[in-house]
Structure 1
Amino acid sequence: MSPECLDQHLRKTLSRGRVAVSRPAGCSRIPLHLFDPSVLDGPLSHDEAQAVVAEPAYWSFCWASGQVLASWILDNPGWVADKRLLDFGSGSGIVAIAAALAGAREVIACDLDPASLDAVAANADLNEVSVTLCNDWQARPDGIDVMTAADVLYDPDNRPLLQIFRSAVPTVLLADSRVRDLGDNCYEQQTIVEARTWPDLNEFEEFNRVRIYVAQQ
């Protein structure tokens, strides 16, 4: 998958958009094709702003939770080594790539957005790892040992995913900066790490505190 293809996806919502290779501060060991903020010489036009809000290219940013979970996996490879892993809501693919680098037997990146899966493919190529792509959680393969999910609780309607994840796989590694209390005691907090979305979107400080949890059957 070429960076030019990612540029084409980005320009569907931002005519000046393009990607560039950068290393997120929260996980600098993994380079990614991400939104290049240097294209914004001035403020967005009204039409550009409306397009970005209507169809945000989530995959073109590396969110704080993804950076922290990717870095944690690289530092704690025992959770994923020799395992078959599914990364839910993969976005840029940083967590999936970290799992592959940490020795997972197979990594499946799952995302509904075709542009995200193109980004995962391009970023996996950049890091010289192999990642399987899946566009439907319901069509996931059998035999998943571990699943990862970062920053998927931004919508309150997504809270039931916590129980769905636990029922589906033996081990869940979750990172989130949006919800202070998950309301599910099966998820045990491991650590809290400060990180910022890359490129920085100047979000509220409370969204820069990432909590990592583990749930096991």
Structure 2
Amino acid sequence: MSVPAGFFARHTRLVRPPLVPEVALHLADDVAVLWQAMEDQGRVDGVPGPGEASPFWAAAWVGGQGLARYVLDTPGLVAGRTVLDLGAGSGLVAIAAALAGAERVLASDVDPYALAVMPLNAAANGVAVVEPVGDVLDDDLPEVDVVLAGDVFYDLRMADRVRPWLFTAWARGAAVLVGDPGRSQLPDGLREVAGYDVPDSGVDVARRTTVWRLP
């Protein structure tokens, strides 16, 4: 689908997430209002609305913020490498990887609005190596050196899809890191590499989030 020109300018504003002020993103002040705007846009221009899906891309989730912070503080993890940001949403983690020196960044998401906003966010941060791609979980594993996955264990169905995919990526030699505040669907076998207290982001009240590495 093609998101109408000007949609993001009308319904979002550039915001710097509190834990990652180096990055500017088109985010919504009220996700519920944005959801309604997406529904209205669909009726006017024949663009598919979000249905029951929330526009996750329009907020800076705490797991993604923690993972982006870790990437910026540990640039050797991604510098000169090919990186995949799984469940990229706004592209926060992908942009952080680009700013940290990644040679190529694939930013995967199933939401067409997320895929449309990522280039705008990349341009706002002066990075040109972020490549939006769709769902990769049912395809052959891309040839990447690093997989970054922020807030992908938000429900059981998604966790069941992501968990074996991440272990496969790790078994094939990729470094795999997960950003998450400690949801119950997190797999066993992860080890903590960093933790952050995230100020109120408009999604969650200030809380602790963790960066995990597999294994």
TM-score of Structure 1 vs Structure 2, range by shorter chain: 0.7 to 0.9
Can you give the 5+ residue segments of structure 1 that lack an aligned partner in the other structure?
8-16
Structure 2 equivalent of residue 14 of structure 1? none
**Aligned residues: CA RMSD:** 2.9
CA displacement 1:44-79 (0-9 Å, x = unmatched): 7xx959x78933211111111111111110000111
Distance of 1:140 and 1:122 partners within structure 2: 28
Structure 1 equivalent of residue 57 of structure 2? 59
State the AA in 1 paired with 2:118.
Answer: V
Contact 1:93 1:123 in 2 (8 A): yes
Please say which of residues 159-168 and 106-115 is displaced more in the overlay.
159-168
Can you give the 5+ residue segments of structure 2 that lack an aligned partner in the other structure?
40-49
Distance of 1:167 and 1:19 partners within structure 2: 36
Distance of 1:63 and 1:85 partners within structure 2: 20
Contact 2:169 2:176 in 1 (8 A): no
- Could you state the TM-score of these two structures normalised by the residue count of structure 2? 0.79
Matched, 1:106 2:104: yes
**SS, match of residue 6 in structure 2:** helix
**SS, match of residue 136 in structure 1:** coil
Contact 1:195 1:210 in 2 (8 A): yes
Matched, 1:189 2:186: no
Distance of 1:18 and 1:112 partners within structure 2: 20
How far residue 194 of structure 1 moved from its aligned partner, in angstroms, is: 1.4
Distance of 1:177 and 1:85 partners within structure 2: 22
Contact 1:99 1:107 in 2 (8 A): yes
- Could you state the TM-score of these two structures normalised by the residue count of structure 1? 0.78
Distance of 1:67 and 1:124 partners within structure 2: 16
State the AA in 2 paired with 1:172.
Answer: V
Structure 1 pair 183/62, CA: closer, same or farther in 2 (3 Å)?
closer
**SS, match of residue 26 in structure 1:** coil
Match of 1:174 among 162, 172, 178: 178
Structure 1 pair 197/204, CA: closer, same or farther in 2 (3 Å)?
closer
Structure 2 equivalent of residue 82 of structure 1? 80
Structure 1 pair 134/183, CA: closer, same or farther in 2 (3 Å)?
closer
**SS, match of residue 189 in structure 1:** strand
Match of 1:115 among 113, 116, 121: 113
Contact 2:159 2:185 in 1 (8 A): no
Distance of 2:4 and 2:92 partners within structure 1: 17
**SS, match of residue 144 in structure 2:** coil
Structure 1 equivalent of residue 67 of structure 2? 69
Aligned residues: 195
How far residue 159 of structure 1 moved from its aligned partner, in angstroms, is: 2.9
**SS, match of residue 213 in structure 1:** strand
Structure 1 pair 165/59, CA: closer, same or farther in 2 (3 Å)?
same
Q: Where do 4+ consecutive residues of structure 1 move more than 3 Å? A: 138-142, 180-183
Structure 2 equivalent of residue 4 of structure 1? 6
Structure 1 pair 120/145, CA: closer, same or farther in 2 (3 Å)?
same
